[in-house]
């Protein structure tokens, strides 16, 4: 089940942790045990031909929270991830279940405000 309009705002270069609930179409938590994977990206707009400006994946900035059967993922944004960005961006999460089937649990827009201190 895709959660749309998962919009949020932050300032360039700040540290931020996002918690994303990965849900099945019936609304129950996706079991993230084993080979299930999660990828979270930020792009200028929703266009697969554009490069990701920020990318986090399982084990590299996207952490499955315990217990994995709860379907929760923490996305960690460090200073370098957004320091050079300002404006409105599209973000999307893709999951793959233990059978390798893709699904999109969240999409939305991220507004990054310029910082007078960082950047």
Query: Which residues pair with residue 81 across a beta bridge?
Result: none
Domain extent, residue 95, equals 8-113
The DSSP code sequence of 15-27 is -EEEEEE-B-TTS
Residue 98 has what pLDDT?
78
Residue 79 lies in a domain: yes
The answer to whether residue 1 sits within a structural domain is no
pLDDT in tens, 22-44: 888 888 998 888 877 899 999 99
What is the Cα–Cα distance from 101 to 88, expressed in whole angstroms? Answer: 30
The pTM for the full model equals: 0.90
Asked whether residue 85 is assigned to any structural domain, the reply reads: yes
Q: What is the CATH number of the domain that holds 77?
A: 2.60.40.10
Quote the Cα angle for 23-99-76, to 5°. 50
């Amino acid at each position: 089940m895709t959660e749309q309009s998962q919009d949020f705002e932050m300032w360039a270069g700040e540290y931020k942790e996002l918690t994303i609930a990965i849900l099945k179409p019936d609304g129950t938590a996706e079991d993230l045990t084993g080979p299930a994977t999660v990828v979270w990206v930020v792009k200028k707009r929703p266009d697969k031909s554009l490069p990701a400006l920020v990318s986090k994946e399982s084990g590299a900035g996207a952490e499955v929270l315990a217990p994995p059967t709860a379907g929760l993922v923490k996305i960690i944004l460090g200073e370098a991830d957004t320091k050079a960005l300002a404006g409105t961006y599209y973000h999307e999460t893709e999951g793959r279940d233990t059978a390798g089937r893709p699904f999109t649990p969240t999409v939305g827009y991220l507004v990054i405000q310029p910082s007078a201190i960082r950047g």
